[in-house]
Structure 1
Amino acid sequence: MCNACVIESVKETMMSRRKLFMGAAATGAAAIAASAISARPAMAEASGKVIDLTYVFDEAFPTFDGVPGIAYEEAVNFDKAGYQLWKITFYEHSGTHIDAPLHFSKDGTSVAELAPETLVCPLCVIDITAKARDDANAALEAEDVEAWIKQNGDIPKGACVAMNSGWGAKVGSPEFRNTPDGKFAFPGFGKSATDLLAQMEVAAIASDTLSLDPGNSADFAVHKSWLPSGHYGIENLANVDQLPAKGATIFVGAPKHARGTGGPARILALV
């Protein structure tokens, strides 16, 4: 066979492969588009507004043990190298973050192992601000869940149920964490509520305070029951007061480090 014939044959083969790859890419894009379209009914109530439910995480953000949750060390200097880079050290359970089942169980699901479908959820918000005004350690109980259902309808399976205690207004003050005499004081979930939500097959709970349990909890009953049962939690959720009681969708940008008991997360809501 002549060289020219070989060249032409190679060209034809390459063009055929290129068309094949382009066709496969188009098919994949179409499949993704179809998937997105099919997902629209689940978010039909959304107007398209995105609310950031994540606090800026820095050395001053309050933590449960009072120790700064993050530290920065310069790894590359811009003036010397033309680009810059930080080495960051942080505690998993600081800032707006996730509690994975592994946090309170020896061999539970790590944050890296959370099923992706549990990280995009219908969002239900239960308001206990009136209760929290009278009691800094107020708990969201089963009766609050039942009152929400009576007013708003059933809580969907796979939902994330968030507590709005109004505590976000205190985040810049010592009162977000404790009383003037140093005692923990902030609202949280009661076990009666989380037991009921587990029966409803809710995927996650979220608090707008430092913990899933109230500040005066002596036994961490919610941590010890909710997390080992395979569910996850979110702590320090921001801007909860901007959310509707129902109709929003939450997107949980969970970290994915091996053996993680949790970690800081970027969390958004589409309303």
Structure 2
Amino acid sequence: MCPRGCLQSICDHATRRGLLKAGFGFGLAAVGGLGLVPPAAAADAAAPPAPELRFSKVHDLTHTLFEGFPTFSGEKWFTVEKPVTWEKDKVNLHRWTLMEHTGTHMDAPLHFSKDGKSVDMIDIADLVVPLAVIDIRERAAADPDAGLTLDDIKAWEAKNGPLPEGCCVAMNSGWHRLLDQPKFTGRDAEGRNHTPGFHAEAAQFLIEERSVKGIAVDTLSLDRGIASGEFPVHYAWLGSGRWGVEAIAGLDDLPAKGAMLVVAGPKVKGATGGPSRILALV
């Protein structure tokens, strides 16, 4: 995504102009996806001027992962051991045991397809994208089985314009604020999970009618909880070669349009997903 010396060039340029305190300003060039390029590289390529991105704040959209982080099944998917300790070894070193899809995490296409891309195969330029936040908090508060619908997408576009090219569409249901409550998993006596997610129709529309690289939810599943036994959104979305993010946090603090999303997933060979650090540049 960033050629050798690019970051140093950006920092030097920002320092000379006194921009470090105000936020960096640098170009974004879209060639097979959005990527950061230094001014010199853009000039050498004789490309048209790229739109400038400025941000003054970085938002962390990641829940802190801990033993006992909620899961749909109620099973423990993350444990920490301390085989090496400061008292015994004068070194701290922990051993983690985890399922890939725990905490705030990425879903790679391979997760719900026979031969889709694993995390390490996803083009890094496809993981730095514009962010569109669609707010369904009011409806979700009244109905935990609510979902992001095609009408929600059309209403967002009527107010904000077309979804940005190559963006991630994030559902804000308000669920990220419920992490320490039973409602976060919404599991009932029959084992059904009553939590918001994307409707299959909305996901299919984004696949067929819009240029969208990823979707994100503040719940534990791209699908609505009550559909989790069938996973129509998982199969359609990930099966189309796109990625998803689940259990994202902090969407309340973001604008509906204008932020950039950085999905820092684990680069593990063959991984179907993994705990990720998700950032928004505003």
Task: Report the TM range for the smaller structure's normalisation.
Answer: 0.7 to 0.9
* Pairing 1:10-89 to 2, within 5 Å after superposition: 29-30=8-9, 37-39=26-28, 41-44=51-54, 46=55, 48-89=56-97
Report if aligned partners of 1:51, 1:270 keep a CA contact under 8 Å in 2.
yes
Distance 1:208 1:27 in 2: 33
Report if aligned partners of 1:69, 1:91 keep a CA contact under 8 Å in 2.
yes
Distance 1:28 1:129 in 2: 38
Is 1:132 matched up with 2:121?
Answer: no
Distance 1:26 1:163 in 2: 36
Is 1:269 matched up with 2:280?
Answer: yes
Is 1:203 matched up with 2:192?
Answer: no
Distance 1:159 1:180 in 2: 34
Report if aligned partners of 1:43, 1:247 keep a CA contact under 8 Å in 2.
no
Is 1:254 matched up with 2:265?
Answer: yes
Please state whether the residue corresponding to 1:80 is helix, strand or coil: helix
The structural deviation recorded for 1:207 is 0.2
Higher normalized contact order (CA 8 Å, seq sep 6+, divided by chain length): 1
Distance 2:10 2:276 in 1: 29
Could you say which residue in structure 2 is the equivalent of 1:173?
A: 181
Report if aligned partners of 1:170, 1:176 keep a CA contact under 8 Å in 2.
yes
Distance 1:226 1:161 in 2: 12
* Pairing 1:229-248 to 2, within 5 Å after superposition: 229-248=240-259
User: Tell me, which stretches of 5 or more residues in structure 1 are unaligned?
Assistant: 1-24
Could you say which residue in structure 2 is the equivalent of 1:14?
A: none
The structural deviation recorded for 1:209 is 0.3
Instruction: Give the TM-score of the pair, scaled to structure 2.
Output: 0.81
Of 165, 169, 174 in structure 2, the residue corresponding to residue 161 of structure 1 is 169
Could you say which residue in structure 2 is the equivalent of 1:11?
A: none
Distance 1:42 1:118 in 2: 18
The structural deviation recorded for 1:75 is 2.4
The structural deviation recorded for 1:177 is 0.5
Of Structure 1 and Structure 2, the greater strand share is in: 2
Identity of aligned pairs, percent? 45
Q: Assess, with a 3 A threshold, how the Cα gap between structure 1 residues 33 and 229 changes in structure 2: closer, same or farther.
A: farther
Of Structure 1 and Structure 2, the greater helix share is in: 1
Could you say which residue in structure 2 is the equivalent of 1:184?
A: 193
The structural deviation recorded for 1:156 is 1.2
Please state whether the residue corresponding to 1:148 is helix, strand or coil: helix
Report if aligned partners of 2:128, 2:260 keep a CA contact under 8 Å in 1.
yes
Q: Quick one: which amino acid aligns to residue 249 of structure 2?
A: A
Instruction: Give the TM-score of the pair, scaled to structure 1.
Output: 0.84
| Equivalent residue pairs, number | 245
Distance 1:52 1:143 in 2: 29
Q: Assess, with a 3 A threshold, how the Cα gap between structure 1 residues 146 and 77 changes in structure 2: closer, same or farther.
A: same
